[in-house]
Amino acid sequence: MENMLSVWKTKPKEGLEIKGAPVPNISDDEVLVKVRAASICGTDLHIYKWGPWAQERISGNLPYIFGHEVSGEIVDAGKNVKGVSLGDHVSAETHISCGYCPQCRTCREHICDNVKILGVDTNGAFAEYIAIPYRNAWVNDKGIPHWVACAQEPLGNAVHTVFDGEVAGKTVSIFGMGPIGVCAAGLCKLAGADKVIAVDMNEERLKFAKDFGADLAINSGEEGVDAKKEIMDATNGLGADVFLEMAGASGALRQGLETLRPGGRASILGIFPKPVEIDVTNDIVFRGISINGINGRKMFDTWYKAKSFLPKIGLERLVTHRFRLSEIEKGFGVLLKKEGMKVVLEP
């Protein structure tokens, strides 16, 4: 069995281990993907740093190969595989759903009761090869470079959140300008939003937001800046039609809700370290607000939409760093220093 380079989480503490491993075997329902590029997600950073979430969620899975944002080429396929072919360029839907729970049976595979997450519950993409269920392989246009295509998984999160409701002709506030937030800003503009208001405390990230089309970028961390006032001013006192929470910050959630117009929609993708105090009466009930929790990507509506926007959105602009897979520690170093946006690794 061929040996391959791979990146393992072996010990319950900060760090990773690069080592050789056998190329994975595939089952009848799987394809073998030769990884051409993999990007580092915030989740990977949690795994690397071994924070509270990782300790609780991953401990039982060690040792294993992590990473899940991937683009590569199908080089082998099990006998039941349908709809994809050898040579196809593919990315992976990270949620491996069971197919038979009540969620899976009612168009909610993305919140499957028995879901396994690629690179979290199974061996992942920081390797030369990865085995994935053929149903999770998404075929990319070959014109999209692998180092860009791997980053469409977060684009997918943005697509799911943005298109959770209507944005054409709407004013949209987006809090949190990580890669997903920046993609969301870009998508809103491409989909005809009237005005996109980006909020973050990091000037660099706000520049990305502007570059992707945000009409207004508010640095809420800046002395004297009142994000609420700026949003209300920018919406003639009405408030935004749509609010996308992509910061996972209690203050962002509250400000976003407070600046939402009556009848507005809030879609929350952010993950909050602890419970959030919300003025339910005034910020939800009296103003007839709708709040939707967003998890993963709709399987596979989201991917079809992402495929459409991928050639338009200029995703390559988010890829600030590219390293060899063997240099993965450098990649984590960049992110630990909060530099750059998307770090791509190429085997």
Catalytic sites, residue numbers: 43, 46
For 33-52, give one letter per residue: b (16+ CB within 10 A) or e: bebbbbbbbebbbbbbebee
* Residue 325 burial (CB count, 10 A): 22
308 binds a second copy (CB under 8 A): yes
Cβ 58 vs Cβ 122: under 8 Å: no
128 vs 241, beta carbon nearer a second copy: 241
24 vs 296, beta carbon nearer a second copy: 296
Beta bridge mates, 37? 71
Site stretch for a second copy (CB under 8 A), options 124-132, 149-157, 221-229, 303-311: 303-311
Q: For residue 64, report the phi and psi dihedrals to the nearest 5 degrees.
A: -155, 165
Tell me which DSSP letter residue 83 carries. Answer: S
Least separation in angstroms between CB 39 and a second copy: 22
6 vs 43, beta carbon nearer a second copy: 43
Considering only CA atoms, which of 292, 245, 289 is closest in space to residue 271? Answer: 245
139 binds a second copy (CB under 8 A): no
Q: Which residue is listed with tokens 């989909």? A: 191
Least separation in angstroms between CB 29 and a second copy: 9
Least separation in angstroms between CB 147 and a second copy: 23
Least separation in angstroms between CB 40 and a second copy: 22
Considering only CA atoms, which of 247, 246, 177 is closest in space to residue 218? Answer: 177
185 vs 345, beta carbon nearer a second copy: 185
Cβ 148 vs Cβ 70: under 8 Å: no
Interface residue with a second copy, options 166, 258, 327, 346 (CB under 8 A): 166
251 binds a second copy (CB under 8 A): no
- By rule CB under 8 A, what string of x and - marks binding of each residue 81-120 to a second copy? -xx--------------xxxxxx-xxxx-xx-x-------
Least separation in angstroms between CB 308 and a second copy: 4
For 224-261, give one letter per residue: b (16+ CB within 10 A) or e: eeebbebbbebbeeebbbbbbbbbbbbebbbbbbbbbb
State how far Cα 168 lies from the chain centre. Answer: 22
Cβ 137 vs Cβ 143: under 8 Å: no
Q: How many positions of this chain bind a second copy (CB under 8 A)?
A: 69
Interface residue with a second copy, options 177, 187, 244, 335 (CB under 8 A): 187
Least separation in angstroms between CB 123 and a second copy: 21
Which residues contribute to the site for a second copy (CB under 8 A)?
Answer: 82-83, 98-103, 105-108, 110-111, 113, 134-135, 159, 163, 166-170, 187, 190-192, 194, 238, 248, 253, 261-263, 268-272, 275-281, 284-295, 299-301, 303-305, 307-309, 312
